[in-house]
Each structure stands twice: as structure tokens, then as C-alpha cells.
Structure 1
Amino acid sequence: MISNNYFSDNQDLKDHFDSITNWKEIVDAYEDNFEDFTAYQKTGKEELAYAPGNYEDAIEYYRQTLEAAGDISGTEISQVAKVMDEVGLKYSDGKVTFPKEMIQVIDKIKSAGLLPYGIHRHYGGLGLPSVVQSMLSEAVSRADGALAITLGCMNLAETVERFGTEEMIHEYVPKMAAGELCGAMALTEPNYGSDLPNLQTKAIKDANGVWRITGTKRFITHACGFDSMPSIILTLARTGSTTSGARGLSFFIVHSKDVHVASIEKKMGLHCSPTCEVVFENSPGILIGEEGKGLVKYSMAMMNQARLNIAAQAMGIASAAYFEGKKYAEERIQFGKPIAEIPAVKKMLDRMEREVAGMRCILYEASRSVDLYRWKEERGKMKGISEKEIRKDEDFKKWEKLASLFTPLSKYYITELANTVAYDALQIHGGSGYTEDYDVARIYRDVRITNIYEGTTQLQTVACIGGIVSGMSETGAFRAYVNEEMNGFSASSDLKELWKKLESVVSEFTEIETSKLRDELAFEVVESTARFHVSLLLERSIGRVKVERREARRALTEAYLLDSFAILASNLTKIQGKKRTLVGV
């Protein structure tokens, strides 16, 4: 792997940090008039010591954090990724053993103070907005996707922070921030993957009023904890009858010492990420929130954040694929010149570059949408404001609705394109890429899961389509968002024409009366929406980057728009053709 600082050596990522991101709105949303700084001045609470007191300090704090994460990712993690992958995990009698290199590098991350990046500073975390968290996750995932998952699990405190009691929060979240507890999500069962409303794991109160959980969960990442660090397993279990569906499910905290890890999966990739089968036998559980809302409220909230995390992971792996492919192409000499100069290879590299740039745009826009609503909820809770009152805020409702669309949209788009970029990177390496001598083989294996777990692309399509159709109505949230964004810069005639093309795609789709055909063609609508959205974001970014970067940005955007026109035209033709066929039948 390339050894460098994975923040400062990535010019497109730096462009987003230095100029594309509107830091004022992010800082306003997250820091909330610098309340943590004010609280530190009054109380001297140690956890708030690094809270910024103005915009300049906030941006510099985020930058320093990313510089530190980029350095440890590119000079430490990336340099042992191959060894960790080759050694892998060992399982024996319920115990999982991790490579010593992985343990050592996690210790270095912990010593550098970077481990609790996703935890609020009130509980001992770094206190970073979602945009910064995504940037950090990208840098770590570029170094090693498996280790990035481990860090993500150690930051799996959001559900407890948002929905737990004060007692739960203070019992578990500071321990996760200190690296004393890992986290795991236990939703899937052997016979129920995405069909969560029908899962069978049961939770019954015993004579002492303690919830006891019985059942088996599969594909549970880090249910075994990490090294000597135990996990708290956020578990979905049935408290209602077997026929009560989603409303009969509740959410629990279960300690890893109270379950048995029956096995770990032997996987194609991510060899250092333990994917466990877990057996619950009257395991004690602590109820989170209200009984019966485990799936409809708590699990869905947790999965939305997890989907954004996987999008960031795929983003990082795609970055690794692009940079490793580019490096190889510039060094590999054939026919008397680097293969990067051969038109067919250059065409691939150019496409990879613009796709990676587009993926980054949609990732950070989804993260922005989360930042612009989530912290109102979290800080409101700290202030004792009821959820009902918070949800009356029009700005909150707007961005929550957009985040509900942008999160699955970015998860689908980034993970699918990351697979394409990794495919091209391996192709550029030729036969050498098919061997384990080059890191691109591991990259290719690791990225393949990203468009499967935390909801396949097909499930993301289901999650997106309703929000697109309603969002494109005359008073829809997405239409209002597009109009507002396009009025904020000089949108090109090409972008306006692409918008009309998307309107035609959605209009043709909404005229379909049969649900079967609508389901069949939903992906074409979702893909068209994603391509337009990325096109908009790329064009918006041209005027934001530094002057010396604008022409290159403009050329990249124009090439992306051309590809998007072809894709939307194709999707429109498919929808119209299917409709004609149906009428003919």
C-alpha cells in the first residue's frame, strides 16, 4: 500500500475540507453557539477541554483530527494491512483471536486519542460532526476496510446516546469512548436476513422482572468483542406474539459474556473482521426505550447510521483502488512508456477519478443532511426538550426527510461504484492484480461485501423509491432542495436539461399502475436520481474550489454529466419500453 498521509495526499478530499464544505452551517449545527466551550468555561469539565470557542478553532480542530487520522492510516494501518489479512482470525471454543499487528495498531489509535471519533465529547468522545466522521472513516478505510469496521463498532454508542436512559448512557458510553467496551448489532437471524419483522429470537421477563433472551443471531460483527475488550450487543428480540410482526419487537443491551459465540464465518474478504454466529440462552438483557419499538424506531435509526458508515467505508476502499491503480499504471512500462499513457488505460483512470469524486460528493452531502437535523435532537435531549417539541421545528423536519433519502441513496451509489472502481483497478494491474502479491487483490475482495451488508442495493432501492416519488412532487422535499441548491449557483444549461430528464423518468414511472412493474423499474428511477444528484453536487463544487483547481474540476464535471445523460436516456427508454410492452400485452 502507498505510504503517506491519507488526508493530506488526497487532493479531492482536501478540496472538500478546504473549500467545498460550508463549514459555517456545519459548525452552527454541531457546536450550537459553542455551548460546550461555554460549559467548559463555567464548569471546567475535563471532557469539554478541547471544545472550540469560535469558527476558526472548530475548523482547525477538525483539520488536526483528520491530519492525525490520515497519518496513522497511511503510515501505520496501511503498512500492516496485508499481514493482518494473511494472518486473519482464529476461533476456538467461543473465543476469537486477533492478529497481534491489529491489536498493536488499535493501541496506537487509542494512544493518539482518535478512537472515540463518533462519540459526543460530553461522554469522552472527540465530538465531531457527521461530515468530519465520514472524512475520517474514508481515510481509515482506504488503509484497511476491516480495521475501519472495528473502529466503527467501538463507536457504536449512538443508539444508547439517543434512546437510552441517563443511567444507561453514563454506564456504557464513556466506557466505549475509553476503549473499554466494543459494540455489536444483533439483528439478523439464520432464517431471517432482511425480513426483520418475522425474526424469532424471544425476550421474556423472569420472576425477578429481568428480561431473558433466547435465540440465535447470525452475521453479527464483533459480537465476540475485540481482544480482551468485551462487547455490548444491541439486540433485536420479540417481546410480542409470533404474529405481532414489527410491532412485537423490542431492543436490548446484552453483554457478550452472557452469550456464546458458536462460530465465525470464513469469508471471501475482510479477514480481520469477525462475523459471528451468536447463541442466546436465557441471556439477561436491558430494554432500550419503549417495548415494541425496537424495529420501527431504534433499529431503523441505528441502521441508517450504519448505512452511512458503510458508504464511507466503500468510499475509502474505492480511494485505495484508484490510488493503487494510478500508481501501478504510472510505473508499469509497456511498449516503451507507462501504461497510464495508453489511451485505453487513461480512459479507465479518468473514469475512476471522476466516479470517486462523485462518490465523495454524495457521501458528504448525505453527512451534511444528518448534521443539519440530528444535533438538534441530541442537544435538545440534553437540555430536557421533548422529542415532540423538537419535531415541530420545520428545519428539523426538512433535513430529517432529506437524510432519510440521501442515506440509502448514497449507500447504494457509493458501494456499487466502489465495486466498479476496484474492478477497474484490478484490470489495470493485469495478471499481477489477480495474485496476492499486490494489495489490489485484497481491495477487490474487501469491497464486494459493501453493497450487500447493512441492506443490499436492492433493499436500498426500496428504501429510496418512496422518498424520490414523493420528493419530486410539486411540494416535495427533494424538488424544493434541488431548486434551492440550483438557485445558489449558476447552473449550466446541461444540468438544467438533466433535471428535465429526471423529471421525465419519474413522471413516466409514476404513471405505471401495476405494482409489479413499478417494483421492477424502481432501480432505474433510483439510479437516475443518484446520477442527477451527483451531477448537481459536482457542478456546485466548481465555484467553491480554489481558482487554480476550477478548470480541472469543470472538465471532470462535464465528463460526468455526459455519462449521466447517457444513463438517464437509457433508463427513460427502458421505462417507456416496458410500459409499451405492458399495454401491448
Structure 2
Amino acid sequence: MPIQYEPPVRSMRFILDHVVDFDAEVAALPGCEDVSAEFGEELLSMAGRFCAQQLLPLNQSGDRQGATLADGKVTTADGFADAYHAFVEGGWGALSGEPDYEGQGLPRAFQIMLDEMVSSANMSFGLFPGLTRGASEALAEHGSEELKAKYLPKLTTGEWCGAMALTEAHAGTDLGLLRTKAVPVGDGSYKVTGTKIFISSGDQDFGNNIIHLVLARLPDAAPGVKGISLFLVPKLMTDDDGNVTGENGVSAAALEHKMGIHAQPTCVMNYDDATGWLIGEPGRGLNAMFTMMNAERLYVGIQGLGVAEIAVQNAVAYAHERLQGRGPDGTGPAPIINHADVRRMILMGRSFVEPARALAAWTAIRMDVAARHPDDATRAAANADVAILTPVVKAAFTDMGFETAVNAQQVFGGHGYIWEAGMEQFVRDARITQIYEGTNGVQAMDLVTRKVTMAGGAPLASYLGRIEADLGEGASELEASLLPAARAALASLRKASAAVQADTSIDAMGSAAVNYLRLFAIASMGWMWVRMAAASLEHGDEATKTRNLALANFYAAHILPQAGALEAAIAAGPDPVMALPADLF
């Protein structure tokens, strides 16, 4: 059966209306007065059709054909260039961009939901606009007025693409080891020379410019990360009107041979005396680049969600169609959706996707509050929520998204391992989301070393207090299973948080980090299930009530109890992890 995809716009509208209260939270913000959940549904319906009709058909063919490289130029898979131009012409690249630079200025919740659908339909394609938006945001926050005026309008619309160049072969996560150099010319520009690896969207054949944000060292730079600066290096040189005047010293030296996302050109990039311009202050390049990296980390988390959604949809369709074994009445062969273990695998994915989508929407609203609210303290509090949730969304959504893709493949049995069914591609594509933009272990360390302890732990306390307020007395249907389980998970998270804050030794944090992040995510999504289940009882039709309460109760029975085990592992401390001598592994 061919891969199918139904954009989950109905679920998105329910979340906007009843779970995150979009109209009340966002419509009062400056610049958002004319938007509503109803408008969002219309917009997302159009976006969903684009994804299903134009991007999904290129997903499997792009995976099989891949990108190719000849004479330093990349050719993308058939149909990708046309699809990208259609994406830009449809205005999808500019959705949440700054109106001052040709953007539409729409709320982040709409952007994140569009990102999910693009990731479901064609994850390789989605990296082109996703990286472009990240580059735009970094330039908008840190670039000079001259650079913003020249490059931001075309980046914001997607007419030009963006890429970020961090990694070097000898320096992975430790960016302090990078060697790429930038030498001032004397006219305000620099000559950038070096080689970067793993550069997604490093080159393509869309016929447009590609704006690389490159980390490099000035001649007198200090060692380590304090000596890193950020440079804007275009593939093509242009005049002030955007007309191409010649090529820059930027070329793709090789394409990485990867497990997945074959249609995405992941390049080894050479910068040979390439002309570039400084973004931000000298020696503050990593600070500027983190604007793009944090945007991309949220985007990657949504990729995990998007792959999980389409994988589950196809597992459900197959489970209804595949006949095997006996049904509840003892007759057969029966659709395998009747079998308890098949149901368990599908429910594991579906009970993750729904609260993850709600938590992503809640995070997106906090991003808009942080950017738009007139009150300084309110903006700061919202920004703290986003800072805490960024590593959680990136790591937990991609870990659970990969697990969901594996379970969905398992529903297909042997057919899931064969490429014709399309399920093995979801597994291969989803795997990179746990690695790039900072591995999930790095995200977990960020959470325990920086986010949990920032401002003396006050932002964390505020976030947990918000959850606790929503877990008060509820309807009897929720008191039977969901609310007690969600309260127990929150209690485990509080105890684990206290343990993490009490022992800040590197071994203690390192041994606790991944377990703590997963516990944080499980409790946070339990909170979202409480909101969704309560909203379903109050606002849902019978099908919505039945479905969401059953999913919530499954989550309460099968997922939330994991919180206690994770709390126990964290409480054990670093000794079980560090006891074995390295030479005995």
C-alpha cells in the first residue's frame, strides 16, 4: 500500500481552541490582533494540502535518487527545485518572518504546525526552509543594519536560502577546536578560508543564492570558544539590489553518504578566500550562532514529531488492512488492529504525538509572548520557559519520534523492513534528529547544567508551579486514572529536580541528564494530556471524548509510571555509572 498522509489540521485546531487558548493568549499581543484559531485552521488546511500533494510524492523518490555532486555543484532529486519555488511563491517561507523584511509576521504556533506537516511529508525538503529561517533570525538579531537591509528580505521570503557552517572534521561538539580563519581585507570584509563538514543544505540547484553563516577565527583571536567569530559568507556575490555579480570562493567538496535524509545535500564545504562579513562582535560568534542553533533545535524536535505522525498514520492504515490471526469473536483471519500488542505499539506513538503537538504549541505561544509582549517581566518569564523547553522539545520529541517510527515499522512486520512499504525510510530519516543540532545527550546536559539552575532555579519553580496548578481537582473521569498518575509524575520530577540542583558535580549531572530530560518530558506531556482530556470532556464531540480519554488513560497506565523508575535511577547518583574502570569496558 502506498504511503498516505492526512494533515492533522483537526487536531491542531482543537489544541489551538481548547488546550492552549490561542485566541486569548495570542490575539492580545501587538501584531497579532487580526489572527485567530479559525484563521489558523484555514491557513493550515492550505499548508496541509501543499504538503500532501506536492511534498509527499517526492519523499520516497527523493530518498531513492538522492542528491548528486559534480564539479563542486549539487543537483537535487527530481522535483525538489520546482517544489521549493512553489513553496516560496506560496508564501510559506515567510510565514513567521519579520514584516519589516518581507515576512508575514504570523504567530509561531502556525509556523510550528506548518513545520510539523512539512516534516511529515518530506523531512529532507523541510531542511531547506528550516535552515533559511534560522539564518534569518540570527542575522536579524545580531547583524548590522547594512547586512540586514541587503540580505534579510530575500532570506525571509526564502528567495535566497540559508545554511550554517559550524562543524569541522577534528572538532565536533567542541567548537573551541575549530581552525577556519577569517582575515580582514581593510574594506570591512574578510577572506574566509577553511573546510566544514556535515553542512545541511550546503549547496543545491534552485538557481538562487545560499547565505552561509560560518564560524571562524580572526588572526588575533583568543584560543577556545572566546576566539570564535561569526561571518556571513554568500555563495554568490551580489550588488545592493541583489543582482548576481559573480561567484564567491564557496564550493561543495563532497556529499556525505548517510543513513537517511538522502534527498538532503549534506555537504563538505570549502571556503577558499571567500568574501564574508562579520556578524555581531568579534569573539562573540558562538553567542550569535546560538540564536540560529536554538531555533534549529526546536525545529528538529518538530521533525521528530512530524515523522512520528506520518509513521503512526500508516501503521494504523496497515493494521486495519492486514489480516492475520483471530479476532475477539474467535473467527479469522482478522485485521491485526484487533491484536493487543499491535494496539500497544500504535498507542505508544499516538499517545505521544498528541500531547507533544500541544506542548509545541504552548512553547510557540511563549515564544510570541517573549518577542511581542509590552511588559519586560512578562517577556522575561516567557523567554525562560522557552529556554527550559528548547532542549526538552529537541531531545524528547526526537527520541520518542524515533521510537514511534520503529514501532510503526514493527506493525508492518517483514514488510516494514522492505523499502517498497516506505516505513524503513521513516526510521532512517528520524535517526539523524537525535544527533544533529547537538546530540540528545548534549541537550540533556544543557538542561541540567544551565536551564534547571538558571536564576537560582526560579524559572524551573515557576514552570512546575504552573503544571501543579492545572493538576488540581478535576472531573471524575480524570480522577480515576490520569490525574493521579500525572500528579505522581510531577512529584517525581520535583524530587529529581532537587537532586540535580543539589549535586552539581560533572559526574552527577552527566549520569542524571538523559534520565532527567525524559522524566521532564513525560511529566510535561502528562500535563498536556490533563489539559486535552479536560477540554475533550467540555468541548469535544463523542468521538473526540472517547478517543482522547482512551489515549490519555493509556498514557497514564503505560507512560507516566516510567517517571518513578527514572526518579530512582537519578537518585542512585553517579556511582553505578562511574564504578567500572575504563579498561574493563
TM-score (norm 1): 0.87
Letter in structure 1 aligned against 2:458: G
**Alpha carbons of 1:411 and 1:560: their partners in 2 closer, same or farther (altered >3 Å)?**
same
1:334 to 324, 338, 350: 324
CA distance in 2, matches of 1:517, 1:482: 22
2:421 to 424, 429, 438: 438
CA distance in 2, matches of 1:449, 1:169: 32
SS in 1 for 2:195: strand
1:355/1:417 contact within 8 Å kept: yes
In the alignment, what sits opposite 1:417? Answer: 400
Please tell me whether residue 320 in structure 1 is matched to residue 305 in structure 2: no
Of residues 133-142 and 393-402 in structure 1, the stretch that sits farther from structure 2 once superposed is: 393-402
In the alignment, what sits opposite 2:244? Answer: none
CA distance in 1, matches of 2:314, 2:163: 32
In the alignment, what sits opposite 1:568? Answer: 563
In the alignment, what sits opposite 1:65? Answer: 43
List aligned pairs for 1:281-292, cutoff 5 A. 281-292=272-283
CA distance in 2, matches of 1:493, 1:365: 23
CA distance in 2, matches of 1:210, 1:542: 57
Letter in structure 2 aligned against 1:531: I
| Offset from partner CA, 1:467-498 (integer Å, 9 cap, x none) | 5542797x621222222343256453433332
2:163/2:211 contact within 8 Å kept: yes
CA distance in 2, matches of 1:544, 1:467: 34
In the alignment, what sits opposite 2:459? Answer: 477
Cα offset, 1:183, TM superposition: 0.5
**Alpha carbons of 1:509 and 1:111: their partners in 2 closer, same or farther (altered >3 Å)?**
closer
In the alignment, what sits opposite 1:43? Answer: none
Letter in structure 1 aligned against 2:216: A
List aligned pairs for 1:569-584, cutoff 5 A. 569-578=564-573
Letter in structure 2 aligned against 1:310: V
2:535 to 544, 550, 553: 544
Cα offset, 1:97, TM superposition: 0.7
Cα offset, 1:242, TM superposition: 5.8
Please tell me whether residue 145 in structure 1 is matched to residue 123 in structure 2: yes
Please tell me whether residue 402 in structure 1 is matched to residue 381 in structure 2: no
Percent identity of equivalent pairs = 26
Please tell me whether residue 528 in structure 1 is matched to residue 512 in structure 2: no
List aligned pairs for 1:100-499, cutoff 5 A. 100-155=78-133, 156-239=135-218, 241=220, 243-256=222-235, 257-258=247-248, 259-295=250-286, 297-335=287-325, 336-375=333-372, 393-467=376-450, 469-470=452-453, 476-488=458-470, 490=472, 492-499=483-490
2:228/2:282 contact within 8 Å kept: yes
CA distance in 2, matches of 1:269, 1:63: 32
CA distance in 2, matches of 1:463, 1:513: 13
CA distance in 2, matches of 1:471, 1:513: 13
In the alignment, what sits opposite 1:78? Answer: 56
**Alpha carbons of 1:191 and 1:580: their partners in 2 closer, same or farther (altered >3 Å)?**
closer
SS in 2 for 1:568: helix
- Number of aligned positions between the proteins: 546
**Alpha carbons of 1:513 and 1:221: their partners in 2 closer, same or farther (altered >3 Å)?**
closer
2:496/2:516 contact within 8 Å kept: yes
Q: Which runs of 5+ in 1 are unaligned?
A: 35-52, 381-389
Cα offset, 1:514, TM superposition: 4.5
CA distance in 2, matches of 1:566, 1:426: 25
SS in 1 for 2:154: helix
**Alpha carbons of 1:504 and 1:401: their partners in 2 closer, same or farther (altered >3 Å)?**
same
CA distance in 2, matches of 1:514, 1:152: 36
| Offset from partner CA, 1:367-388 (integer Å, 9 cap, x none) | 2322221345xxx9xxxxxxxx
Q: Which runs of 5+ in 2 are unaligned?
A: 236-246, 326-332, 474-482, 581-585
| Offset from partner CA, 1:100-153 (integer Å, 9 cap, x none) | 321222233233332323422332223222211110011111111001112213
| Offset from partner CA, 1:450-482 (integer Å, 9 cap, x none) | 000001011001111135542797x62122222
2:167/2:198 contact within 8 Å kept: yes
TM-score (norm 2): 0.87
1:340/1:346 contact within 8 Å kept: yes
In the alignment, what sits opposite 2:553? Answer: 558
Letter in structure 1 aligned against 2:416: G
**Alpha carbons of 1:223 and 1:23: their partners in 2 closer, same or farther (altered >3 Å)?**
same
Cα offset, 1:556, TM superposition: 2.1
1:62/1:128 contact within 8 Å kept: no
